[in-house]
Amino acid sequence: MIRTAFLTLAAAGLVTSASAAQEQEVYVETSDLGAGVYMLSTGRGGNVGLSVGEDGVFLIDTQFAPIAPYLDRAQRAVSGDRGVDMVLNTHLHGDHVLGNEYFAEAGAIILAHESVRPALENPVTAQLTGSTPDPLSGGFLPTVNLVGGETLTLNGQTVRLHHEPSAHTDGDIWVQFVEADVIHAGDLLFSGWFPYIDLDNGGTVEGFIAGMQAIADAAGPDTQVIPGHGPMSTKADLEASIAMLSESRARVAALVADGHDYQAVLDAEPLADFHDAWNWGFITTERMIWTLYRDITGEIPQR
Ligand SMILES: [Zn+2]
Ligand SMILES: [Zn+2]
């Protein structure tokens, strides 16, 4: 079942000054994954997970502040108009945490890996879309600091929280709803797209591949995988991303081993056959090569 809500920021009075935002339309698409678990998507920030049941309302990631009220409205439509009790941030990026304050002020507690809170309080200044370069405080900050390996018993589900060190960032948590057979991968899966790997916040290519592999190992043929970005996915989509990224890394590493500098690697077009399927606006083929080169050499090439 897919339920789509069509709303506008201006109509709700959230934007009072004349701006392009007044014309913004926020669609929240609610996908029912069974057993009280849902995916909420807007196409603007990371995909949101939702578990609803007798124990409460559990939200995974909060997108951006102006979108949070729409996420809340969408979850209320399936939770019997209850508020959110608990939020988990899969990692530190702005498109996953900037709605936190909205839910915290309404009474939700916020969980994240223990590295997330200090990173939000003292962010690295990385000029990266979705990062949080301004310090955050108060209701934006997680108050339950996880190390990974925790298990929640919630809404009839065994909910396992897995930490991947040095993957998309250094604080990625992915979430497994065991009985529902649903996994929220956080940004360890950009399904069908070249992945963003945040080297400035502790991410590494090897760790990202290992993180995807850990999720694939936990998934079965029928597991529904919520990606951080992209459409509802499966174990096969994870395996395709693992194969693409592993091959891409090997090709760039071979060129580097042959003595190619960054420009020579670019000129060799090592990812040409992946371009049509995996290139997208944020992580272009060139930026994927840049990330791989930087990860392999430790140098930061000029772009
Ligand atoms: Zn994201
Ligand atoms: Zn991210």
pTM to 2 decimals? 0.91
| Residue 239 or 133, more confident | 239
Cα 192 to Cα 113: distance, rounded to the nearest angstrom: 26
Q: What is the 3-state secondary structure (H, E, C) of 153-211?
A: EECCEEEEEEEECCCCCCCEEEEEECCCCEEECHHHCECCCCCCCCHHHCCCHHHHHHH
C-alpha 63 – ligand 2 centre gap (Å) = 11
Nearest to 97 by CA among 132, 66, 71: 132
C-alpha 259 – ligand 2 centre gap (Å) = 32
Q: What is the pLDDT of residues 212-228, one digit of tens each?
A: 999 999 999 999 999 99
Is the predicted pLDDT of residue 85 greater than 50, yes or no? yes
Average pLDDT over residues 90-116: 97
Is the predicted pLDDT of residue 16 greater than 70, yes or no? no
% the chain with pLDDT above 70:
90
Q: What is the pLDDT of residues 118-144, one digit of tens each?
A: 999 988 855 444 567 788 999 999 999
Helix, strand, or coil (residue 134): coil
Query: Which CATH number does 2-235 carry?
Result: 3.60.15.10
Among all ligands shown, which has an atom nearest to the Cα of 196? 2
Q: Which two tokens stand for residue 265?
A: 């690697």
The domain limits of the chain are: 2-235
Please identify every residue whose CB atom is under 5 Å from ligand 1, which is an ion: 46, 93, 95, 187, 228
Is the predicted pLDDT of residue 5 greater than 60, yes or no? no
Residues β-bridged to residue 111: 88, 144
Among all ligands shown, which has an atom nearest to the Cα of 167? 2
| Residue 6 or 24, more confident | 24
